[in-house]
A = this chain, B = another copy of it.
């Protein structure tokens, strides 16, 4: 179910570091080097596969930018915030 802007803003207060940008939940992560950045991505990939909910993400050396949204609802759903939380726990 698509979350309302009001609901999104409420939930953002419980997801520090994440921003609501262009209809996506977005966060950038920075690591010591490529190796640790990719190790993080590997953990996130496992979580995403488990939830069957996948990020739009990019990596350049030690930086990983993650964007989440739910294509099916044309916006953000509960699942995006659930994945965001699990991603934070994967750092």
Contacts and interface: CB of A to CB of B under 8 A. Distances in A.
A58 B58 contact: yes
One complex includes copies of this chain to the number of 2
Interface stretch (A2-10, A13-21, A48-56, A76-84): A48-56
Interface string A37-68: 01001100100110000111111110000000
A25 to B, nearest CB: 15
A11 interface: no
Interface residues of A, number: 16
Contacts of A59: 55-58
A54 B60 contact: yes
Contact of A54 (B55, B56, B61): B61
